[in-house]
Chain A
Amino acid sequence: MATKERTKEILGELGKSVYEFREDDAVKWAKAALKEGVDPFQAALEGLAQGMIETGEAYNRKEYFVPEMLMAADALYAGLGVLQPAIKASGRKAKVAGSIILGVVEGDVHDIGKNLLKVMFDVAGWTIYDLGKDVPIDKFVEEQLKTNADIVGLSSFMTTSMLAMPVIIEKIHAKNPRARIMVGGTPLNPVAAEKYGADGYAKSAGTAVDEAMRLLEMLQKEELGQAL
């Protein structure tokens, strides 16, 4: 069993491996965590995920850009790959923040932004249903009804593909008014989001989780109000 100091050191090294995108070190320190009896859950959340959160903060400060985010994500998942069997074996489950469907809308294959979103929601403890890119309009509707996900995140990179967004939003809201929908991507802005009937807008992968949390809290308050 690692001492408190050693545990702190391992968690710090795990976070640093992600932040400095050193995939081999993420694996090395994840193995060390298991070998020295550090709680794998703690290693994942307070080590690797914390490193990714700090990477996202550096991205928001424009100290990091997409290459650094992608490399950090690789280190994160390399370390998680080592820890996951032990987490699974422990039977413990992470506290789920919420659930989100992510996808790049029909006609669009630009998915780097959506993939970064996925990483950030992953480390924030969300259940993610990733539909990929060039996703047909009705697929979003079907998936929302099937999963009853709290949030649907629509991404678009072009002024043509963003035209699919109001169609998707209207269809989902008609079928399930509970669902909250947020939009993002190059041609989107708060004005477009409002015109399209979206509930939220995220400027970048670095702000999307906060926006989703805001929508989720609103949703929970509304549902609580209705229950009372």
Chain B
Amino acid sequence: MKMMTRKATMTNKERVEALLRREKPDRVPHWPFGPQGFAMIYAGFSIADQYTKPPEVVYEAEKKASQDFDWVFAPQVRTRRGRGEFGGEVKLPTNKYSQAAYVVKYPAETPDEVMELKVPDIKLRYTPEVIDFYKRACQEEDGNKPFKISFGGTSVINTAGGIAGYDKLCKWMIQRPEVAHRLLRLAADYSIATAQYFKDTFGVERVLPKGYTAGASNQLISPKHFEQFALPYLKEVHQKVLAMGFKHLWVHPCGEHNLNLPYWQQIPMGDPGFVTIANEVDLETAAPYFPNDIIMGNLDTTVIQIGTPDEVYEAARKVIEQGKRLPSGFIFSQACGLPPMAPVDNMRAITRALNDFGWY
């Protein structure tokens, strides 16, 4: 299924490794963001199966999709429930319209409950079977796999939003800032403990911590609130995780972060880090704020989902051509999570665009 208009001289693993050395790869690599749902459906499973099937099923599905579509493969260790780090009630996707697990009852509903919450035992999020499997998976080398594993560990504001709900977090930023700070403190401590657990369990070499920050976008909060509530905790978590020895962090400022970019600039990402930009932010606008990091992004997921293959090909071309001009390195990706129900022909159109326009 791979279509090569020029002969590749590097594997996807080597492409990412070249970028980490701040060298140009032979071609722009494609590292899809959150491809598990699509990979499972492509392999004949349901979206919900990624939470319920043994980890090797998800791993193999993603590996197969990576081979077929010429992707970077960065397997992410699956948690027990997907969400609900601090408890509460989580519902798994029940049909094709539901993209991921979601919280139906929050672990804390009132300020008092927030103030009494403690950081839970990280180990409870991962079953022994999952950990054993990923220890074995770490040993497997693959031409698409620059990192042994990745894990979600630095999503401070998303974690905070999952404790009491984003609406309450938003209101408390104004009404009860001490409660909002407590939520962020809990989330930051949880992130730091998660990274420590992964260091103790898997080591730090070629292990990639990842973080998503949908809850801090300017579609939700102001840059003033980003500075007050997101920046100090993100900065602390990133500093502490890097001090543990992790070399690179992967972050996704999800959604519209234009007004937050000067604050993002203050957050260390590693040497270099990976910054996945959403389509609400222009790649060339974002790049100067991350002069030492590899920029990823930012094909609109809506066009992937509803566009024709020709429309996807053309949209991908524009992203690739813009991304290739970025001085600190570029990896093609989606603007947000890869739509699980994306038409396969549209994904092939992306592969075709990369092979037509992605060469350096």
Chain A interface residues toward B at CB < 8 A = 21, 62, 64-68, 70-71, 74, 105-109, 112, 115, 158-164, 186-189, 191-192, 195
CA distance A68 to B342 in the complex (A): 36
Listed residue (B95, B97, B99, B100) with the most chain A CB atoms within 10 angstroms of its CB: B97
Contacts of B37 in A (CB 8 A): 160
Chain B interface residues toward A at CB < 8 A = 37, 47, 93-100, 102-104, 166-167, 170-171, 173-175, 218-222, 225, 255, 259, 301-302, 304-306, 337, 339-342
- Do A160 and B174 touch (CB < 8 A)? no
- If A107-B93, A108-B97 are given as contacts, then 10 extra A-B residue pairs at C-beta distance below 8 Å, sorted by A number, are A67-B170, A70-B171, A105-B97, A107-B96, A109-B103, A115-B167, A160-B339, A161-B97, A187-B301, A191-B302
Residue from the list B171, B222, B302 in contact with A189, Cβ < 8 A: B302
- Do A163 and B221 touch (CB < 8 A)? no
Q: Given A70-B171, A71-B174, A186-B219, is A65 in contact with B225 using a C-beta cutoff of 8 Å? A: yes
CA distance A160 to B48 in the complex (A): 13
- Do B99 and A160 touch (CB < 8 A)? yes
Q: Given A160-B47, A161-B97, is A65 in contact with B220 using a C-beta cutoff of 8 Å? A: yes
Q: List 6 A-B contacts (CB under 8 A).
A: A67-B220, A67-B221, A67-B225, A74-B171, A160-B341, A186-B219
- Do A112 and B167 touch (CB < 8 A)? yes
CA distance A192 to B96 in the complex (A): 18
Residue from the list A21, A71, A105, A109 in contact with B102, Cβ < 8 A: A109
Listed residue (A71, A115, A159) with the most chain B CB atoms within 10 angstroms of its CB: A159
Residue from the list B95, B173, B306 in contact with A67, Cβ < 8 A: B173
- Nearest neighbor of A112 in chain B, beta-carbon distance: B167
User: What's the least CB distance linking B161 to chain A, in Å?
Assistant: 10
User: What's the least CB distance linking A110 to chain B, in Å?
Assistant: 8
Contacts of A161 in B (CB 8 A): 97-99
- Nearest neighbor of A137 in chain B, beta-carbon distance: B97
Residue from the list A66, A112, A159 in contact with B305, Cβ < 8 A: A159
